[in-house]
Amino acid sequence: MQHSVNGNGKAPIDTNGRLSSSYLRYLPGFYQEDDFLGRFLLIFEEILAPIERTISNIPYYLDPRLTPADLLPWLASWVDLVLDERWPLEKRRLLVRRAAELYRWRGTARGLKAYLQIYAGVDPLVIENTTGTALSPDAQLGVNTQVDDLRDHCFVVTLPVADPEALDMEIVHAIIRSMKPAHTAYEVRIASPVY
């Protein structure tokens, strides 16, 4: 018995023009020829089809880029994140995607910069052990180049943003507190970006 899918993509039609279940292909050959069994299995195929479609779409539910917005907090809980609803949806999705990487770099300048970059959309400058600047990869002339005293266990975060009002400083401080080592102090500065 050969099957072909009918025009609406539903149950296959056998060579005699009768509807028959596609489940027959999983049975031994002598059952595949049984017309009654083919029609009987259509009942189960109709019932199970929505479940099979849901199961086949599970990878989309587990991808933070594609999951419905209502499921994003549930997905975030898998990586021990509590999402702040004040964040735009796309930034929350990116945060969930990068959570494992952020945890790996927690307590480091690299991790802090990555987390702040997700929220602020700019590359923050992090200078450690001073209230001003030091010669480091993050020193930028005109942005964070004032000279101050050296201070142990202290760092300065400079956010070069064009519109400081666009940042919620409460969120910025919460990010820094969650990523910094417990024994350190910090200062946040907002600067105009250098083009």
Q: What is the pLDDT of residues 9-46, one digit of tens each?
A: 455 665 666 788 888 888 998 888 888 998 999 999 99
Q: For residue 104, is it within any domain?
A: no
Q: For residue 87, is it within any domain?
A: no
Q: Which of 14, 33, 56 is the last residue of a domain?
A: 56
Q: Is the pLDDT of residue 56 over 90?
A: yes
Q: Where are the alpha helices (DSSP H) in 4-131?
A: 29-32, 35-56, 58-61, 72-77, 89-97, 99-104, 109-120
The count of domains in the chain is 2
Q: Which of 18, 37, 56 is the last residue of a domain?
A: 56
Q: For residue 169, is it within any domain?
A: yes
Q: For residue 84, is it within any domain?
A: no
Q: For residue 140, is it within any domain?
A: yes
Lowest mean pLDDT among 18-27, 43-52, 119-128: 18-27
Q: Which of 18, 36, 56 is the last residue of a domain?
A: 56
Q: For residue 102, is it within any domain?
A: no
Q: Is the pLDDT of residue 100 over 50?
A: yes
* pTM greater than 0.85: no
Q: Which domain holds residue 33?
A: 3-56
Alpha-carbon distances of 175 from 102, 138, 163, rounded to whole Å: 11, 19, 19
Q: What is the pLDDT of residues 138-147, one digit of tens each?
A: 556 555 555 5
What pLDDT does 3 receive? 45
Q: For residue 61, is it within any domain?
A: no
Q: Which of 67, 56, 127, 112 is nearest to 92 (CA)?
A: 67
Secondary element (H or E) of residue 158: strand 150-160
Q: For residue 28, is it within any domain?
A: yes
